[in-house]
Amino acid sequence: MANWQSYISGVGAFVPEKAFTNFDLEKTLDTSDEWIQQRTGIVKRHWADDDVATSDLAVKASEEAIADAKIDKHDIDCIIFATLSPDHDFPGAGCFLQEKLGLNGIPAFDIRQQCTGYIYGLSMADAFIKTGQYKNILLVGAEIHSKGLDRTPEGRNVSVLFGDGAGATIISSKESGGDNDSHIISHDLHADGAFAKELWIPAPGTANGADRINQTMLDEKLNFGFMNGRTVFMHAVKRMSESLAFTLKSNNCTIDDVDLFLFHQANLRINDKVGEIMGIPAEKVFNTIQDYGNTTAATIPLGMRDAVKAGRLEKGMLVGLAAFGSGFTWGSSLLRY
């Protein structure tokens, strides 16, 4: 019986054409380019047109990943879609993506781990491959935040952070090889629901009494995201550092062994602080938040694609991933690209 390993065989990404700079947001959000850059590192973000759905962004990223993997799309035998902004409440966005790609019949999973969605999804894909259940899994993270933002001065602290985009990877199977061959090595996953309401959207929901949504909830803007920024910042730095340190230690690796780190892109100050705590040289961290803002489940695969295009990520490199998000959820992964 074969001993299967999983590896990333293809990467792809897509962002909407329209870019909105901090100067554009100054006109409506009572903010400034200086304020946004100092607190987040974000310079611009991309927002989708009104007639575009989350699965549409995912299609574009998936097509690029499939081409990069040099496989036929019908070789894909499973879809895992990480998003907090699906096309509709139900069914899951994975089914809409599946239909648009013409891959009817294969299983489609939706997962809701927010900013940690890609790492959770990667662990699932890795496990499926290693059991021999699937051979080529399309793992996608995609978001359209722009349609759910409070674009008034009252909502500026959250609205300046988020962008729309999609990242996709093909997770493929092969028989186990050497340590320096491309393969996914390990994962470390966590959650703590005690902090669920520190970063969340209260409505619509079945916990709101008789109505999932009503006019009172809309008047109170409960349909927009709420974030306790200080709490999120402190926990993100602590948990990402802890998880990454655990993953490296578990695999007898040091910071020196890792060629590149790809962190979730929520706030450049968070990533800089994690790097400082871990003793990671700045040149080993690849950030994209300045160009895209926080695209939640898409940030890591989007960054992976951009790192490849920039010549920063090459086959054979040891790569560390880490993310933290709503839930709270957090985790890390180690892989040989």
How far, rounded to the nearest angstrom, does the alpha carbon of residue 186 sit from its chain's CA centroid? 18
Residues 6 or more apart in contact with residue 185 via CB below 8 angstroms? 251, 333, 334, 335, 336
Q: Verify whether residue 294 is a known catalytic residue.
A: yes
Is 142 in the same domain as 63?
yes
The pLDDT assigned to 148 comes to 96
Euclidean distance between CA atoms 324 and 329, whole angstroms: 6
Full-prediction pTM beyond 0.85? yes
Q: Verify whether residue 264 is a known catalytic residue.
A: yes
The pLDDT assigned to 270 comes to 98
Euclidean distance between CA atoms 163 and 312, whole angstroms: 23
Boundary of a domain, candidates 144, 175, 206: 175
Among 145, 183, 235, 264, the one annotated catalytic = 264
The pLDDT assigned to 1 comes to 57
Q: Verify whether residue 88 is a known catalytic residue.
A: no
Question: Residue 195 is part of which domain span?
Answer: 183-336
Among 95, 115, 136, 235, the one annotated catalytic = 115
How many domains is the chain partitioned into structurally? 2
Beta-strand relationship, 108-111 and 78-82 = parallel
CA dihedral 164, 170, 171, 172 (to 10 degrees): 180
How far, in Å, are 1, 11, 78, 200, 248 from residue 176 at the CA level? 12, 21, 21, 41, 21
Is 114 in the same domain as 209?
no
The pLDDT assigned to 56 comes to 98
Residues 297-316: tens digit of each pLDDT: 999 999 999 999 999 999 99
Among 22, 267, 271, 294, the one annotated catalytic = 294
- CATH value at residue 91: 3.40.47.10
The mean pLDDT values, 10 residues at a time, for the chain of 337 residues are 90 98 93 95 98 98 98 98 97 98 98 97 98 98 97 92 98 88 97 98 96 97 96 98 98 98 98 98 98 98 98 98 98 98
Is 193 in the same domain as 141?
no
